[in-house]
Structure 1
Amino acid sequence: DEEVFSDEDARFLEGGISAEQAEAIDFVNQQDDNNNEESIAPTVIDATLVKRRITSTRKALNKNEKQRARFSDDPSRFMESEAELDAEVRQLDFLSEAAHLYPVALEAGLAELCAELLGHENTDIACAAVEVLNSCLDENVQHSEKEMEQLLKGLDAANVLPALVQNLARLDEQVAHEQQAYYDTLLILENICNLDNTFKRKLAEATRIVNVLVARIQQKDVKSALDIAQNKQYAAELLSLIVSDTASPNIALQCIRMQGVEAMLLCLAPYRKKQPVKMSFDEEFLENCFDVLCRLVSLPTGKDDFLEQEGVGLMERLMTDPKAAKQAKRRALEVLDFACGSWQGGAVCAAVVQAGLLKHLFATFMKKPEQSVLRNLLGLFASFFRTLNPGEPERIRVLNKFGEKQYAKLIQLVGVHVQLFARRQEVQAKIVQAEAARPATMSAVERREYDLVNLLSLMDEGGLDALQLCDITLAWLSAEDAEMSKFILAELTKASLTPASVIQTVREMSTGLEDVVKEAISEGD
């Protein structure tokens, strides 16, 4: 009679074994755990033991592969060798207790072995290999920088990264241990990227990780579309980490080509009517998606997709809808700042004005917002004047806003300049004092690093970035309208300042101070 398999049996048949045979493997593993613990967890770990264990696992893999090929139609004939292989792989996690022997393990073929195990037809074996790699790369493992560098180099040479991502794509998160393996794989990839920043680019170029993560982020979880599972949140976090590499813009471009902008907008849309629980996966997911979106819309093609997918409309609803998540209100403004930024942001700027957002933006500005919100608002104002053409209705509407109610917004803008300029002067005074105390024996490299720290301090603590955006807007307003120019001069005089305080900042901006800082940072790296 033809045997009838249940859904549970089907999962195991994908790996070549039935449910009953899988239970037998579990029984063997349990006996190993209960009766042979001392042999699996050696008290003395040396090079000989490492080589012996890796060689033993290799032999078990070869034996299993031969039996699988020979008895492909009869899984019961290779079940025992598969159980032996599973046990051999799992005992390799002792390696994390001896990071100083990683070079020995690599020489014995650990990296190549892991790459093959990750591609094993039985996902249980692949999951066991993930456990081993996760234990070796755990950030809590005590290791030297050289040891970890050698391990990463070995894993890279053996193409373990592509193997990890390929295995990730086939894991069934409805199965508990595969769901855990999915999480552990993301953890491994994150640890690798944090240990060596160049692996962000390698990971994106050599694997389909961006495709896999974008797809996982859009996947609906079991309970509902609004229930954010841990792995979904982690996928968004890893994607954010990878695309944030500004030194490799191709990663973000790859994400854009995968409809990344549309994916992020779809993921953020539910937060129009949803408040995530504080410190939850849901809240982290929201932040991660906004991080990715900010990076994508900073690029020209990302801006185009943002417009095509009606991103301005969604940001408008997130900022103005009373039911929208509080974090979403703040982050939506940040997205618009990035989308409108640079000379390619003109179309987005026009769309923002056409969406009727000026009323909300200026109302927020007049409430004396927190520093980060103020920075985004000033960025938008500067972008409006930088990219909207003279005579365009949208530019005229922005200009008229500053003239409303007897120049109330203009008074506020000058007040921001006064405040930021005073802070800048305080920080500059501290920097001058620090430079006077700088040791004369500093080398050229040390002096450059010292000066870089001072510049960054001025940009951050001194609010130079916000001051530049504020003053470039004041300069545009003065150039566009004679009456506004006179009013700005009068307001500066009231604060015992002259136009020179604005001109100084604009000149610094025009000479590319920000580019100098970025260049210095890249040289320092």
Structure 2
Amino acid sequence: MEVGELLNYKPPQALKRPGNAGDDAEEDEHEKHKKMRKIARAKANQMVRPPSPTPSVQTLDEISEEERQEILKFVETEQTEGEVIDETAIKRIILNFEKRSLKNREMRIKFPDAPEKFMESEVELHEILQEMRVLSTAPDYYPLLVKLRIVPSILELLSHDNSDVAVAALDLLQELTDIDILNESEEGAEALIDALFEHQVIALLVQNLERLDEAVKEEADGVHNTLAIIENLTELRPETCNEAQKQGLLQWLLKRLKLKAPFDVNKLYASELLSILLQDNNGNRNALGELDGIDTLLQQLAFYKRHDPSTTEEHELMENLFNCLCSALMVSANRERFLRGEGLQLMNLMLREKKTSRNGSLKVLDYAMAGPQGKDNCNKFVDILGLRTIFPLFMKTPRKNRKKVLSAEEHEEHVTSIIASMLRNCRGSQRQRLISKFTENDHEKVDRLMELHFKYLEKVEALDETLDDNEENPDANYLKRLEGGLFTLQLVDYIVVEVCAAGPPSIKQRVMQILNLRGGSVKTIRHVMREYAGNLGDEGDQEWRDQEQQHILHLVDKF
């Protein structure tokens, strides 16, 4: 079709069914519009490309801006020209929906055992639910939707006997709660979300999840849309996360992760949503532990001990599972469950296998062993010969691993944090085994420690030169410095003063020798440690922090 013909084409003002025409005429009309939209899209795509010397495109360049906009407008809108979403149109759509919903209900009551009698009303109800997706293009009118009591009517359809209708209702809800659309109108978003929560949306969605069969493609899409609705709600109302535990969402997500089926997008989405629900929420973390969630996560991760994920999506699933485990380990009761569930042994094996899962396992060990609650895990890690695994990683940072990986800085931070946690928490023979590692092979570990000390000291000094003296908010500068390498420097220097105090004199002599050789200073290490002692954060209780502060200052005085 030539461009001239395309521009002369005018879409009909409204799509009406011909009075006496049969199904064929209707199909022809539909096919014609489909074809026109396809051609218009192709032509419009050509127009937005840079002009080329071919004659056909030269004629396209001659089209006026007004004509170009007209074509693009036709391409972008599926509705026919003249159909605008306003208050009248919305009321008409909703009235139509309520009529069809009522008719379907009546027909089902009247002919409960004769599906052929109520099937037509069901098809009509399904069609109007599809048409209602246009309502999501006008978020400013959401308060009107709420006023017309559309929310309870849609939620009611989630328990409809025909799962196709329930899935169509989910599709509509997902469109209405799309985060980008809700951000366009604050008032509309508030009104819609208030109405959804007023009618127990999370409880209804979870109940509906139980009956959807993911072996059916449409119902699997319904599960995906349900998870999308919940994610949208958590983004706008973080307190939604508190509902997860009460309404049984956590149980469903764990059950979905345990499902023995090939990897699919819904499993990925379930892991993503679980990660969101556990973020900064101790209630959900505790609930996860009580539901044997730690064991579930460890079982799912065990597969990646000897296998790398085969796709980027599966890699994302693995990362989400590691993140869930790290979040859960922020609660001390879950660290005990992790220890009992042989989580340390699994992470240790992952480190030895050198697969992609090594990065995640390093992070998990860091979380499991940190702080006073990590004491049992630290001692157990030494018992299962974890020192043989962690020190080679300390001595040499892996240059490059496959796919998405930790940076060298992140790797060094996690390894030094694990060693610092063991020095802080290990006692008796385990501590002796740890200290003796620093005298092996002519103090090579001490040499590596000092190498890291100078590396991160240079980073911090370079950063300090770029920072302004922010007297109003000194915490902001301190946080930037921590992110820029100060945190790892503090961990390295903590290990230095700890092994110098607890180990044989040869360790201290080696440290002093390297400091003198490279023009370093004992004062620098003391200063870093004093700053660290004054900013221990909120780990442990006040009594533990006071003891730790005194211990660090005592080590500094001895150094």
Give TM class, smaller chain: 0.7 to 0.9
Separation in 1 of the partners of 2:237 and 2:481? 29
User: Could you tell me which amino acid in structure 1 is paired with residue 514 of structure 2?
Assistant: E
Confirm whether residue 502 of structure 1 aligns to residue 535 of structure 2.
Answer: no
Pairing partner for 1:302 from 334, 340, 344 = 334
Letter in 2 for 1:315: M
Q: Secondary structure at the match of 1:303?
A: helix
Which residue of structure 1 lines up, in the alignment, with residue 210 of structure 2? 169
1:221-275 Cα distance to aligned partner (Å, 9 max, x none): 1xxxxx311111111111112112x1x2111111122211111111111112212
Q: CA deviation at 1:175?
A: 0.6
- Percent identity reads 29
1:236 to 2:271 alignment: yes
1:41–1:94 Cα contact (<8 Å) kept: no
Matched AA of 1:179: A
Secondary structure at the counterpart of residue 172 of structure 1:
coil
Q: Which residue of 2 aligns with 1:255?
A: 288
Could you report, residue by residue, the CA deviation over 1:138-180 in whole angstroms, capped at 9, with x for unpaired residues? 3443723343233222222222222122212221111111111
2: distance between equivalents of 1:145 and 1:512? 40
The code of the aligned residue for 2:270 comes to A
- SS of the aligned residue for 1:78 comes to helix
Pair 513,373 (structure 1): closer, same or farther in 2 beyond 3 Å: same
Equivalent residues of 2:245, 2:287 under 8 A apart:
no
Structure 2 residue identity aligned to 1:412: R
Once the two structures are TM-superposed, the CA of residue 475 in structure 1 deviates from its matched residue by: 2.2
2:323 to 282, 287, 291: 291
CA contact under 8 A between 1:111 and 1:160: conserved in structure 2?
A: no
Structure 1 CA distance for aligned equivalents of residues 154 and 496 of structure 2 = 61
Matched residue, 1:267: 300
Confirm whether residue 328 of structure 1 aligns to residue 357 of structure 2.
yes
- Deviation track 1:309-356 (CA, whole Å, cap 9, x = no partner) reads 11111112211125xxx3201111111111111111111111211111
Match of 2:108 in 1: 68
The residue number in structure 1 matching 2:486 is 464
CA contact (8 A) 2:140 2:187 kept: no
How far apart, in 1, do the equivalents of 2:493 and 2:185 lie?
49
In the aligned structure 2, how far is the partner of 1:59 from the partner of 1:111? 15
The answer to whether the aligner puts 1:385 opposite 2:418 as a matched pair is no
Further displaced range: 494-503 or 207-216: 494-503
SS at match of 1:435: coil
Q: Deviations over 1:459-484 (max 9, x none)?
A: 112x1221222122222212213513
- Does residue 435 of structure 1 match 2:469? yes
Q: Corresponding residue for 2:137?
A: 97
Alpha-carbon offset, residue 119 of structure 1:
2.1
- The one-letter code sitting in structure 1 at the alignment partner of 2:415 is L
| In structure 2, C-alpha distance between the alignment counterparts of 1:175 and 1:497, rounded to whole Å | 68
Q: Deviations over 1:83-135 (max 9, x none)?
A: 33222222210111111111111211122222211122222111011111111
* 1:34–1:206 Cα change, 3 Å: farther
Does the Cα contact within 8 Å between 1:213 and 1:236 map onto a contact in 2? yes
Distance 1:79 1:200 in 2: 39
- Tell me which structure has the larger Cα radius of gyration: 2
Counterpart for residue 455 of structure 1 = 478
Q: Deviations over 1:54-74 (max 9, x none)?
A: 233234333433443444344
Counterpart of 1:365 in structure 2 is: 394
TM-score normalised per structure 1: 0.81
Query: Runs of 4 or more off by more than 6 Å in structure 1?
Result: none
Residue 493 (1) aligns with residue 516 (2): yes
> Per the alignment, in what secondary structure is the counterpart of residue 147 of structure 1?
helix
Q: Which amino acid aligns with 2:324?
A: V
Give the aligned residue type for 2:219. Answer: E
AA aligned opposite 2:497: A
Q: Tell me the SS of whatever aligns to 2:135.
A: helix
| Residues 115 and 159 in structure 1, CA contact (< 8 A), matched pair in contact too | no
> Using the alignment, how far apart are the partners of 1:232 and 1:164 within structure 2?
17
* 1:379 to partner: Cα distance: 0.8
Letter in 1 for 2:89: L
Residue in 1 that maps onto 2:257: 217
Farther off after superposition, 49-58 or 404-413? 49-58
Q: 1:339 to 1:176 in 2, by over 3 A?
A: same
Letter of the structure 2 residue corresponding to residue 408 of structure 1: E
Alpha-carbon distance between aligned partners in 2 of 1:504 and 1:288, rounded to the nearest angstrom? 38
**1:110 matched residue in structure 2:** 150
Q: Does 1:191 align with 2:225?
A: no
**Could you list the per-position Cα deviations for residues 10-48 of structure 1 after superposition, in whole angstroms to 9, with x for gaps in the alignment?**
xxxxxxxxxxxxxxxxx9xx98x959x99x957211112
User: In 1, distance between residues paired with 2:201 and 2:79?
Assistant: 25
Deviation of 1:503 (Å): 2.3
Matched AA of 2:525: V
The amino acid across from 1:170 in the alignment is: R
Deviations 1:191-214 (A, max 9, x none): 222233332234x24421111111
Alignment partners' CA distance in 1, 2:208 and 2:463: 52
Match for residue 92 of structure 2 among 32, 52, 77: 52
8 A Cα contact 1:337 1:376, kept in partner: yes
Deviation at 1:190, TM superposition (A): 1.8
d(CA) in 1 for partners of 2:155, 2:111: 24
> Partners of 1:327 and 1:98 in 2: how far apart?
45
Is the contact made by 1:216 and 1:232 (CA closer than 8 Å) also made in structure 2? yes
Q: Using a 3 Å threshold, how does the CA distance of structure 1 residues 473 and 358 change in structure 2: closer, same or farther? A: same
What is the CA–CA distance in structure 1 between the aligned matches of 2:274 and 2:512, rounded to whole Å?
48
Change (3 A) 1:471 1:110: farther
Q: C-alpha distance in 1, partners of 2:530/2:163?
A: 62
Distance apart, 1:420 and its partner CA:
1.1
Q: Which runs of 5+ in 1 are unaligned?
A: 1-26, 222-226, 439-446, 517-525
Unaligned ranges ≥5, structure 2: 1-22, 35-77, 399-407, 540-559
CA displacement at 1:307 relative to structure 2: 1.3
Cα separation, partners in 2 of 1:90 and 1:452, compared to 1, 3 Å: farther
2:447 is aligned to: 411
CA RMSD of aligned residues (A): 2.6
Q: Which amino acid aligns with 2:465?
A: A
Q: What are the superposed Cα offsets for residues 265-294 of structure 1, whole Å, 9 maximum, x if unpaired? A: 111111122122342x22111111111111
Which residue of the partner structure matches residue 500 of structure 2?
Answer: 478
The one-letter code of the counterpart of 1:259 is D
Q: In the alignment, residue 459 of structure 1 is paired with which amino acid?
A: L
Q: Quick one: distance in 1 between partners of 2:339 and 2:451?
A: 34
> For the residues of structure 1 that align with 2:529 and 2:91, how far apart are their CA atoms?
65
